[in-house]
Amino acid sequence: MQTLTKLGYNIAGPVLALIISFAIGGIFIAIIGKDPLAVYSQFFSDTLGNAYGIGQVLFKATPLIFTGLASAICFRAGLFNIGAEGQLIIGAFCIAFVGNVFGILPAIFLLPLCILAGFIGGACWGIIPGLLKATFGAHEVINTIMMNFIAAALVNYFVSNVFFVPATVHTPDIVPAAHLSRLDFFFESFHGAPVNLSLFIAIGAALLLHVYLWKTSLGYELRATGLNLNAARYAGIHVERHMIGTLTLGGGLAGLAGMNFVMGYKHYFELGFSEGAGFIGIAVALLARNNPIGIVLTSIFFGILQYGSLTINTIVPKELANILQAIVILCIIVLSKVIDRHMVRLQKQSVAAEVHA
């Protein structure tokens, strides 16, 4: 009975939050003189009503899974990784560079090499704040943010002056051997949607991370470090090692997000392609309560919001679509807290009832 109630609340919560946020959004839409129903029907039919829309949603979700995992694993270790954006940019650029420069290699070597390049690029951007935190106690929030600026400026320089195609804002193409196939290659109905095999790599990463966090002793130590640093240290856990290791792993995961665009879609690195996926990853992680499997689902949800906002842009201004997105996220966060509190109260009541009986 108890678990059933819990499940009910877990499903009812987000649904209720969605309904409420759409109602509030509807008021905004009505204020600017448009029909809320027309907007919402276009929103849902274009995102979930056909395979192409679903493909677009999954494409948008893929980098968010990586950046969401990058934030979540650091949160689990008690670290705030605000640097996923910079890690993503560096990783993506490394993929584009390796995919072009090592073009003579056959696919069987080149594909893993590109993926490795993305991971290492991002990891380099994660290990620096990790080392600074572990050795000097310098706060990782400031340092990861600063690393974002360095990444952006550095990559801008390379894409504008060193490694670029004239008259564009992107790098030269990677060779076909480094391409990850699009899913429309296997399923014709996805035709045109850029969703590609990196989606499965992202899901694989989420599963691996789940195993790491809950089925290994290292994962246990990591969580212990996050829950209580001093207690963990007292218990003999090398917390500094976990700080460095976790930020490095997080950086690497964020670096892999570039695969989706560079290896699976455009086959080059383009300035500004990330659309802030590094920052949205933080919201994804929080909403999924740092649960790797939850992050996959939350990313898909954010993918729906992002692609949906683009599709309704023909009816309402872009700004309104952004407002809608923000309202939905706010409602879900607030309502999940309200429901949590309600659950605790229910539990207390049932315990009290048992005691009385």
Decide whether 21 or 81 has the Cβ nearer to another protein. 21
Minimum distance from residue 281 beta carbon to another protein (Å): 15
Q: Which residues contact 73 (CB under 8 A, 6 or more apart)?
A: 209, 213, 222, 246, 249, 250, 253, 290
CA 297 to CA 138: how far, in whole Å?
Answer: 34
Minimum distance from residue 253 beta carbon to another protein (Å): 20
Estimate the share of the chain in helix, then strand, then coil, as percent rounded to the nearest 5: 80, 0, 20
Decide whether 141 or 283 has the Cβ nearer to another protein. 283
Q: Which residues contact 218 (CB under 8 A, 6 or more apart)?
A: 212
> Containing H/E element for 285?
helix 277-287
Minimum distance from residue 323 beta carbon to another protein (Å): 14
Closest CA to 63 of 194, 213, 175, 211: 194
Closest CA to 81 of 140, 138, 151, 150: 140
Decide whether 57 or 222 has the Cβ nearer to another protein. 57
Decide whether 27 or 207 has the Cβ nearer to another protein. 27
Decide whether 4 or 167 has the Cβ nearer to another protein. 167
Minimum distance from residue 162 beta carbon to another protein (Å): 11
Q: How far is CA 88 from CA 120, 240, 343, in A?
A: 11, 24, 38
Decide whether 144 or 325 has the Cβ nearer to another protein. 325
CB–CB of 305/53 below 8 Å? no
Closest CA to 324 of 303, 308, 300: 308
Minimum distance from residue 10 beta carbon to another protein (Å): 15
Residue 163's φ and ψ, nearest 5 degrees, are: -125, 90
Question: Would you state the structure tokens that stand for residue 76, as one six-digit string?
Answer: 């689990």
Minimum distance from residue 121 beta carbon to another protein (Å): 19
- For CA atoms 267, 272, 274, 275, give the dihedral sign: negative
Decide whether 60 or 133 has the Cβ nearer to another protein. 60
Minimum distance from residue 80 beta carbon to another protein (Å): 26
Decide whether 46 or 140 has the Cβ nearer to another protein. 46
Residues that bind another protein (CB under 8 A): 16, 19-20, 22-23, 26-27, 35-38, 46, 56, 59-60, 156-157, 159-161, 166-169, 192, 194, 261, 265-266, 270-275, 307, 310-311, 313-314, 317-318, 338, 342
Minimum distance from residue 234 beta carbon to another protein (Å): 44
